[in-house]
Amino acid sequence: MSNKTVIPFGDPLAMSIQAAGLMASNFQRHTVFSKLTGAMPNDVEWATNSLKLQTSVHKPIVRSIDLGKNMGDEVKFHLLQPSKAKPIMGDRKAEGRGSRLAMTGDRLRVNQARFPVDLGGVMTNIRSPYDLHKLGKPVAQNLMERYVDQTIQVQLAGARGFQENINWVVPLDTDPDFAEIMVNPVRPPTANRHFMADGTNGIQAFTVNAGEVDLATTDQLRMATIDGLRSWQDNAVLPLPGVILEGDNGVSAESPMQVFLATPAQYNGFVQDPNFRQFQAAAMARASKSNNHPLFTSEAGLWGNILILKLARPIRFYAGDPIEYFDGAGAIQTANVPAAFGNNFAVDRGILLGGQSMAEAFGRSHLSGIPFFWNEEQLDHKNALEVMIGTIRGVSKIQYDVNVAPGVYEETDNGVAVVDSVVPIIGRN
């Protein structure tokens, strides 16, 4: 008697097993963004985990899996406003003088996204030297994983950029399907979280000169830029929350860090810095204290308490392309990348992450009962076969009005800031 498990084509059990495997694979994908994701706790867990400094509330991307939601539903989340108060001393009356808790919130939509792959007809498969059925599923899964990571990157950056090549499955924002593909609105970085490289002087606020972004070809990302971010964090009215990692023997709890996601061109610029080896060695030393946490095992470097990681693709703006920004009145404006950059230079957007930068929510599939699902369909009187991968999810940057002074509210990206810098390129690549 065979000990192999055989599940017939179309069996509901097959659907559940494949979907569960897909969900595990997606959550365990070896990408920067998957390593920066933690679970979104409920209200009780929030208080408990905060006291215990557990990572679920201190990861940049917090995840909610609500299996009771269907596609198109909304997930609501609430954030506690920062509070300020002075102590009541001695025997002065304290009753009735408690600090008020102020809550704000946002909504996150989920929607269904699917990638079908045509496996061809009977004669196509007969003539092909390859097993197209075996090849189809990895192709579909790769498309889904790119979609998941790219929607996260675009939301965090607050822009899609204008690089367009085969690696992108999220189209340009000029595409008529862009808004639906992103599910939730892509909001530009808030004014208090939007910076640009300033040569060797560090960073400056995003500024415009005569309708163009006020950047010169020398304003490239260097160690001085990271030093500028550290200085800003030390002096900011509302700095980014710290990132605390699990399993690092309490190192990040005692000394929370931020994570800077550099584009390939930005990261490669660090190689020219005389401190590059020190930069890499610091990350390796931190890894040894953190049980070799996977964040430190890729192309990474540590400068101060900012961990620099290399992204797979850039958010890039070419000469003449518009960049959205918030002006002093809180209105969204656009400025163009200097036309003088031509085909030699572009602007790349680096992303600085703290805790609770983004929310990711999932809904329940009617096919599998979980957020990811497979389906196979025989078409044309069973002559052709199509395989499909799908998910019900949505991502959104956590952005809300923060009470920065009595009666003064400032729209603020909770856990993310961006830095625009110049990178050398060869044509529109």
Q: What are the pLDDT digits (tens) for 35-59?
A: 565 544 444 343 334 333 223 456 6
pLDDT level of residue 385 (50, 70, 90 thresholds):
confident
For residue 209, list its beta bridge partners. Answer: 212
Residues of the chain with pLDDT > 90, as a percent, come to 29
Q: Residue 387: what pLDDT?
A: 78
Residues 6+ apart with CB under 8 A from 149: 29, 31, 32, 33, 34, 312
| Model confidence pLDDT, tens digit, residues 242-285 | 877 665 555 555 667 888 999 999 988 877 777 777 666 665 56
- CA distance linking residue 22 with residue 392, whole number of Å: 13
26 pLDDT higher than 60: no
Q: What is the DSSP letter of 61?
A: E
pLDDT level of residue 347 (50, 70, 90 thresholds):
very high
- CA distance linking residue 66 with residue 74, whole number of Å: 10
| Model confidence pLDDT, tens digit, residues 142-157 | 888 899 999 999 999 9
Residue 76 phi, psi (nearest 5): -100, 140
381: enclosing H helix or E strand: none
103 pLDDT higher than 80: no
Mean pLDDT of the 150-165 span: 95
Handedness of CA 22, 28, 30, 31 (dihedral sign): positive
- Pick the closest to residue 30 from 115, 148, 134, 136 (CA basis): 148
Exposed e or buried b for every residue in 61-84, given b needs 16+ CB within 10 A? Answer: bbbbbeeebebebebebeeeeeee
Mean pLDDT of the 196-221 span: 93
pLDDT level of residue 72 (50, 70, 90 thresholds):
very low
- CA distance linking residue 426 with residue 376, whole number of Å: 43
Mean pLDDT of the 97-113 span: 73
Give the residue with greater pLDDT, 71 vs 5. 71
Mean pLDDT of the 333-346 span: 96
Task: Indicate the Cα dihedral angle 201, 204, 209, 213, nearest 10°.
Answer: 100
